[in-house]
Amino acid sequence: MTAEIIVVTSGKGGVGKTTTSASLATGLAIAGKKVAVIDFDVGLRNLDLIMGCERRVVYDFVNVVHGEATLKQALIKDKRHENLYVLAASQTRDKDALTQEGVEKVLDGMSEDGFDYVVCDSPAGIEKGAHLAMYFADHAVVVVNPEVSSVRDSDRILGLLASKTRRAERGDGAIKQHLLLTRYNPARVANGDMLSVKDVEEILGIDVVGVIPESEQVLAASNSGVPVILDAESPAGQAYSDTVARILGEERPLRFTDVAKKGFFQRVFGG
Amino acid sequence: MGILDFLKRKPEPTATVAKERLRIIVAQERSTRGAPDYLPMMRNELLEVIKKYVHVDIEAININVERDSGHEVLELSVALPDGKPAATPAT
Ligand SMILES: Nc1ncnc2c1ncn2[C@@H]1O[C@H](COP(=O)(O)OP(=O)(O)OP(=O)(O)O)[C@@H](O)[C@H]1O
Ligand SMILES: [Mg+2]
């Protein structure tokens, strides 16, 4: 059995890849899948903090690639879900620490270990790290913000996914592309100063798999090292749950894309 | 806010401006994707040549690479400024 490889990528930095990787991996684990999430951001380890396992990192991705540790030794088991594992990025400054053969070996090892999904948290940019994160992917979640430079960069990334990946090179079927619009603010869209879901879909020519609203709880979640999908009360958490369900093939309507209608008491008393 | 502000026409929402700009640049970048690396340089040099004859901005020059059945066609279009006849070549 081979694991499905999902890359979370964007081109532009700081748009929500790591936030998304953590919630996607956790959501897949909640759905009963055996999941590993790998931080490809060599030199800038961050996924461990968002997953809340930063103090349990002993070995990292580069150690496994270089044969200094086994996959079993380096995979950090999640505290909350026993079928979820994290592979931390190396803090080395050597950007060439990862090689295509090395990454392939690790991913093959995960298939052998019976993982259903491997989520690859890509670094920003279109350099080597981003290339390696996407190269072996079967699915891509392209994270985009409703903002001009992010939209343009995501189009670049969609082009690279269609040409510079193993699937593209071998011609064995295109990567399944999922566009995820995050940090969405319906009130600003209503005011005409933010691109709408429809605008972004039209410009890029693909439909969104989900829309994650700009939400205060995302910062609270990262502060506490708990992926926001586990905050079932928060709009962002619920939107991530919907997104994971859609990636798994379920149909769910979009939520949190319109300005919240105020209830009677709010309208009368304000707030 | 004064009464005059009410009478003034509402400016175009910035999201609409953003969408239009993105539509154009994304289409342009897609059409030259995978095209030879010399294309941007060639575009600049062509602009220099064209400028000797007509006053156009770089935005008026569009380069497309079309691929069909085995061969590639380099398509160049220049939107000439309207109304003005072409200038006599500079010597
Ligand atoms: N839906 C959201 N609402 C509010 N804040 C968000 C949301 N998504 C992400 N953020 C915030 O945006 C910042 C960047 O997020 P994140 O680290 O996930 O981005 P990234 O794409 O992984 O960045 P990098 O390119 O540096 O790896 C963080 O501070 C995060 O808390
Ligand atoms: Mg990140």
B77, B56 Cβ separation under 8 angstroms:
no
User: Which of B26, B29, B30, B67 should be substituted to probe chain A, the one whose Cβ sees the most A Cβ atoms within 10 Å?
Assistant: B26
Interface A–B counts its CB contacts (< 8 A) at 42
A185, A195 Cβ separation under 8 angstroms:
no
B10 reaches A (C-beta below 8 A): no
The residues, ordered by sequence, that sit 6+ positions from A247 with a Cβ below 8 Å of its Cβ are A6, A24, A139, A141, A178, A209
Cα atoms in the 13 Å half-sphere on the side-chain side of A194: 21
Supply the ipTM of this predicted assembly.
0.86
- As a whole number of angstroms, the distance between CA A127 and CA A192 comes to 34
With CA atoms as reference, report the closest residue to B43 among B30, B60, B23. Answer: B60
What is residue B7's predicted lDDT score, i.e. its pLDDT? Answer: 62
Choice among A9-13, A168-172, A223-227, B62-66 with the minimum mean pLDDT: B62-66
Chain A residues whose CB is inside 8 A of the B15 CB are 189, 192-196, 199
* Atom in ligand 1 nearest the alpha carbon of residue A122: 27
With CA atoms as reference, report the closest residue to A90 among A141, A147, A129. Answer: A129
Averaged pLDDT of chain A: 95
pLDDT digits (tens, 9 = 90+) for A56-68: 999 999 999 999 9
What is residue B91's predicted lDDT score, i.e. its pLDDT? Answer: 47
With CA atoms as reference, report the closest residue to A74 among A90, A65, A61, A84. Answer: A61
